[in-house]
Structure 1
Amino acid sequence: MNLVNMEKYKNSLFGNIKNKLSDWLELDAGETIPSQEIFRFLHSIKGTAGTLQLCGLMAITEQLLEGIDEDSEKVWNRTELRNFLFELIEHIYEYEHFDEVEIKAKPVRDSQAPLIQIIDDDISMLILLKDLLEDMGWMVITNADPVKATNQYFEMQPDCLILDIQLPAMDGFQILQEIHLHNEKYFIPKIMISIQNDKHTRIKAFKMGADDFIGKPIDFDEFIVKMERHIQRKKIFDQSVLIDELTQVYNRRFLEDTLPRYFNDYKRSGLHFSISIIDLDHFKRVNDRYGHSVGDFVLVEFARFIKNNIRSSDLICRHGGEEFVIIFPNTSNDEAKHKLTKLIKDFSAKKINQNGHTFRLHFLRGFFRLKMKILRPRRHWRKPTLLYMKRNAQVAEGLKAYN
């Protein structure tokens, strides 16, 4: 199956290898490279070369890996490196295409698309997997630095983590351990990838908390099927704990978990968003006059109405009772106000029929600021807490900016 433009990634891989070799072969007298760095370099080439079906390059790196010890304290000077890597250098310079292919920017995707994180110090593999997954319509974040990547994981809370075992400074098993210690309450599928595909490594990965293990070279067809399965499992889990049972919209917990992602996106890329708190007016009278079963029906109808009349990228959550929160990504104050005004008008005209009773309702739009402006993020905000609106006083409590 032609899932990706293979030639593009082959060019990228050869370009990266050539750049690294050029750096090493231009070392000044007295400068050296440790064996561990050379081992990781060859190790990453082997995994990507196998994935891209570059059998000749993979065979060369396998042979070179047999001649170097990862744990050796040996350092290599320029002459030693040139002699040791001569066959690899010769193979690279026989390849016709050295320029790295320009990676075009991906379009902005639906904020409801799954967010995948990839941690691998092999840049060519990162680019390859990122493009492959983004072609599936998923959002992807990547990082080659294991320490920064771990912080990014806790900050972004991705829907799936793809993690290589062989990393500098902090290996994949250490990252799994760190995640397990500080992030047990979230279910996020974790997939280990590695050129080390032996039984001992796989068992260790599963014991450390991995949900799956994929050996390099990676088979794209199998990889995509497994990814789809893990994303589906994540979706089913989220629906069981993050969906309001009555109204079938997201619940308060989901709102608490999701808001930080919007704020982080804003800090990183400047993508603004607006938040509104909406509240069914005089809802208590409905319960008192017609009973709670009718009140529940009203809440269900109201949530369905909102879902059917906002964009797929907009987000509605039930905060509690008759209070709901709507997040409008990439939306200005005026645009959100206009949309809410229309929603209020259309819903107020809607007749509700239940148990022989016919009536109309309308809802209030609540805003964080007392001057009735929709909440917009500010750059000095670090993270949000939850929000809600006291209907009578129209004072938002909970979502506050703090330094």
Structure 2
Amino acid sequence: MKEGRRKYMVVLRTQLEQLAELSSMEEDQTTLDTALRLYRLVHTLKGSAPMFGFIRIGTIAEKLVRLWEWAQDKEQTVPKDISIKGEFQTALMGSSTLMQQLSMELDIYEQEYDLDEQQEQIVKHAPAIALGSRLLVIDDDEVLRSYLVRRFKIEGYEVDEANDVPNAQKLLREYTYDLILLDLMMHPQSGYELFEFVKEDPTLKWVPLVVLSGRSHIHDKVRCFYLGADDFITKPFQYEELSARIYSLLKRTKDFEQMAFRDPLTGVYNRRFFDHQIQVELQRVARYPASMSLVFIDIDRFKSINDTYGHHIGDLVLQGLAHLLQNHLRTTDMLARFGGEEFVIVLPGTSGPEAVRWIESVLEHARVGPVAQNEGQPFHITFSAGVCEWSKEMTVEEWIKYSDDAMYAAKQKGRNGVLLYSKGMSAVVAPELVPLKERRKTILIADDDRILRSILISKLQHLPVDFLEAVDGEDAYAILTKQPVDLCILDGLMPKLDGFEMLERMKEESSKPESLRILMLSGRSREEDLTRGLQLGVDTYMHKPFSMVELEVKVKQQLELT
């Protein structure tokens, strides 16, 4: 669209020149043919200009069309070379001002386009640090404040403004800022009034503070630095210098945050930041009472992922889950990696039941699609989560423990679920619910349909089983003859070696283990296929398309899972 507008402006300029030329014809050339050419030009402008966003030009052209429509009406009755001086001059007089407006509007559009181009170039080459950073400009000089806000926005920053200390305090309570610019000399309260408010508040004390001052007295500079200012800039100043200083401060702050408060593997906050920020959130709730919930998350059977596929796949899964969680958070929420495969999320302004509904929706996303892929192989997971709503009777340690207890209770109920903490939940795992050594069984899914394999793994992932995959009959045969498999979900029709041929080979070679169960899937419902499968050792049979609920029931029956 942008390229189209640019090209159309060139065409538009040419058309306006043609209009000017036609409207300045000598009297002996004021023929119907000239009038028709004028009419067609303005009619073209009326239809095409709005399509490229030149609405004002289209509106003016519409008025010109009405002035010259008479020429079209006369086209069938008057020879084109006949002079129509009177009507022509009348229409021309009405068009004069409108044609001037057309030219002026095009000039304005061209200027706006050039300004937009300049702004895009500025934003394009602006430091990446600006994108996503939010600034607060506090100054009672409306002209300077407005200028700074516009320049910062052009560079890509989000910017808010305040003209006095009370308005600044209100914004600082409502929003989170990456940097504050503060004018010292304001009325009725000076910028000094804000120092204590900012530096004593644990949610603000780490935010860089740049002082702008019309006084360059050394006493002011020293006092501001002792009070906690990160920089001091004297008015008047060059904007380019101010912009560079802000960039440097933000970059250093973000680099420090990345090293000190971020988990290097997943990029989310670490335990150190969580321990600090949880105190900040509780202080905020003490000042402005509201509900708040904590979610404790643990990936189901994460150890088996590391044992089966290696720690590099485990790392990919951790990164994938962190990304999934981050994508569903609000800006006010906080996600941190608590340790290992455990994550915690603080949800301000959220009740326990609301938090349960939210995390259940995230869990559904995890069930539906893979959280990671490696060399084309998808990896699906589920997780167990516990939720606890904050109450003022709790200590932080109790709040975390209750969320953890609810998560363990979700594990005991079969994993792949979310529970809200209730009194009496215990983190102690009941021995009758979790055996000392849980025997994990293996399912081989042999099907050339990659999507179907992925769906089956996703839907059965919550069962206490490991998965293997085969893309054809030869691949399935090699796996079944080389390693133990408890259940093979086998497609009847596959390339290289179909399911029936594979079973026949195993029967001939007596290579089918007695403990192996076969669940055959087929898109055909012929009686002879069913009979042939049973003769070859198929234990149960399902026709495509099939119910996933029924499939899970059959899988549990074959593996004797309760």
Relative to its length, the structure with more helix (as a share) is: 2
Quick one: higher RCO (CA 8 Å, sep 6+), 1 or 2?
A: 1
Whichever of the two has the greater Rg, that structure is 2
